[in-house]
């Protein structure tokens, strides 16, 4: 008996360009923690401790992504990276990895929405935090249900705004501001007495003071 041909595996249409992928990578590593917690970390651990923490974290992420990149090039898959765990470690491991990854991003999304709500409440004190969380949640949902090209384009511009904001903070920190305080000793506790440039964490420290 002649066997019927095996159906071809599903393939996705590649609508993202190189600039989308680059900005998605940059925007993905710039979270709310950079704007909310960097100043606090520098004030408690110092510039050296903060630098070491970021370097260790960056090394771990680099090694993980290097391994994932090798697997993706050698065995392209339309699924997520849990398919590699299922293939080499077993279906149970792949199932666990997939659900843990989903749980991680569920918690991360909730914390990011809460942080965004507190940030907007600073500018609009009369508005509740939950309202801004709902607004951002609806916006994220709408961005994900439209076409992939629309999602990539919106993420490109949002990531670009974050990168430009960080660069602006660095420029302002190193004397790029048009106006300065006439008395630099007016806020003696604005910057913690730590060695090294605070850079992007400097505006957060100033705001918290």
- Each residue's pLDDT tens digit, 91-103: 899 899 999 999 9
pTM beyond 0.85, yes or no: no
Residue 187 lies in a domain: no
Give the residue with greater pLDDT, 13 vs 85: 85
Is 207 inside any structural domain? no
Establish if 7 belongs to a structural domain.
no
Q: Is residue 183 part of a domain?
A: no
Helix (H, G, I), strand (E, B) or coil at 14: coil
Q: Is residue 49 part of a domain?
A: yes
**Mean pLDDT across 6-13:** 56
For residues 140-179, one letter each, b for 16 or more C-beta atoms within 10 angstroms of the residue's C-beta and e for the rest, the string is: eeeeeeeeeeebbbbbbeebeebeeebeebbeebeeeeee
Residue 197 lies in a domain: no
- Residue appearing with tokens 């994220």: 140
Give the CB-side neighbour count of residue 13, counting CA atoms within 13 A. 4
Separation between Cα atoms, residue 16 and residue 14, nearest integer Å: 6
Give the count of domains, the chain: 1
Q: Confidence band (pLDDT; 50, 70, 90) for 198?
A: very low
Question: Quick check: 150 pLDDT over 60?
Answer: yes
* Tokens coding 35: 């704007």
Which of 34 and 186 is assigned the larger pLDDT? 34
Higher pLDDT, 196 or 15: 15
Calculate mean pLDDT across residues 38-47.
81
Range of the domain at 116: 18-175
Separation of alpha carbons 65 and 96, rounded Å: 19
Q: In 75-128, which residue ranges form alpha helices assigned H by DSSP?
A: 82-89, 91-123
15: pLDDT strictly greater than 80? no
Residue 167 near residue 34, CB atoms below 8 Å: no
Query: Does the pLDDT at position 46 exceed 50?
Result: yes
Does residue 31 sit within a domain? yes
Tell me whether residue 147 is in a domain: yes
């Amino acid at each position: 008996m002649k066997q019927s041909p095996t159906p071809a595996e599903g393939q996705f249409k590649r609508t993202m360009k190189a600039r989308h992928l680059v900005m998605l990578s940059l925007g993905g590593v710039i979270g709310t923690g950079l704007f909310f917690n960097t100043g606090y970390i520098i004030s408690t651990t110092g510039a050296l401790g903060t630098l070491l923490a970021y370097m260790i974290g960056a090394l771990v992420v680099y090694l993980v992504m290097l391994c994932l990149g090798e697997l993706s090039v050698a065995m392209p898959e339309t699924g997520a990276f849990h398919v590699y765990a299922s293939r080499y470690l077993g279906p149970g491991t792949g199932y666990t990895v997939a659900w843990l990854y989903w749980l991680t991003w569920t918690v991360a999304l909730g914390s990011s929405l809460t942080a965004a709500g507190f940030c907007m409440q600073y500018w609009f004190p009369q508005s509740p935090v939950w309202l801004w969380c709902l607004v951002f949640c609806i916006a994220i949902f709408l961005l994900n249900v439209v076409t992939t090209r629309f999602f990539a384009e919106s993420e490109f511009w949002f990531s670009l705004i974050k990168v430009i904001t960080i660069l602006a903070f660095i420029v302002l920190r190193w004397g790029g501001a048009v106006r300065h305080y006439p008395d630099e000793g007016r806020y003696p506790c604005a910057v913690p007495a730590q060695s090294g440039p605070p850079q992007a964490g400097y505006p957060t420290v100033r705001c918290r003071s």
